[in-house]
A = this chain, B = another copy of it.
Amino acid sequence: MRNIRLLIAFDGTGYSGWQRQRHDVTIQGEIEDRLTRMTGESVSLHGAGRTDAGVHADGMVANFHTGGKISCPAFFQGLNSMLPPAIRILQVEEVRPDFHARFAASGKQYIYRLHTGAVLMPQQRHFFLHYPAAIDSQAVQACLTLLTGTHDFASFENTGSRDKGLTNGRGSTRTLFAADLKQPNDYEYFLSFTGDGFLRQMVRNLVGTLLEVGRGKRSVDSFGQVLLARDRTAAGPTAPAHGLTLKEVFY
Quote the shortest CB–CB distance from A79 to chain B (angstroms). 11
Q: For A85, give its contact among B10, B56, B58, B122 (CB under 8 Å).
A: B122
A123 contacts partner chain B, Cβ-Cβ < 8 Å = yes
Q: Are B9 and A86 in contact (CB-based, < 8 A)?
A: no
A117-129 to B contact mask, C-beta < 8 Å, 1/0: 0111111011100
Chain A interface extent, by class: 20 to 34
A114 contacts partner chain B, Cβ-Cβ < 8 Å = no
Q: Are A87 and B122 in contact (CB-based, < 8 A)?
A: yes
> Which B residues are CB-close (under 8 A) to A80?
119
A86-119 to B contact mask, C-beta < 8 Å, 1/0: 1111100000000000000000000000000011
Q: Are B122 and A10 in contact (CB-based, < 8 A)?
A: yes
A157 contacts partner chain B, Cβ-Cβ < 8 Å = no
Q: Are A85 and B125 in contact (CB-based, < 8 A)?
A: yes
> Which B residues are CB-close (under 8 A) to A76?
118
Q: Are B88 and A123 in contact (CB-based, < 8 A)?
A: no
**Distance of A58 Cα from B88 Cα, bound (Å):** 27
Quote the shortest CB–CB distance from A132 to chain B (angstroms). 10
Q: Are B125 and A86 in contact (CB-based, < 8 A)?
A: yes
Q: Are A88 and B11 in contact (CB-based, < 8 A)?
A: no
Q: Are B86 and A122 in contact (CB-based, < 8 A)?
A: yes
* Contact residues of A between 1 and 28, Cβ < 8 Å to B: 9-11
Name which residue of chain B comes closest to A89, CB basis: B119
Quote the shortest CB–CB distance from A88 to chain B (angstroms). 5
Chain A residues in the interface with B (C-beta under 8 A):
9-11, 56, 58, 76, 80, 85-90, 118-123, 125-127
The 10 closest A-B pairs by CB, nearest first: A11-B122, A85-B125, A86-B122, A88-B119, A9-B122, A10-B122, A9-B121, A88-B122, A90-B119, A11-B123
Q: List 5 A-B contacts (CB under 8 A).
A: A9-B119, A58-B121, A85-B122, A86-B122, A88-B121
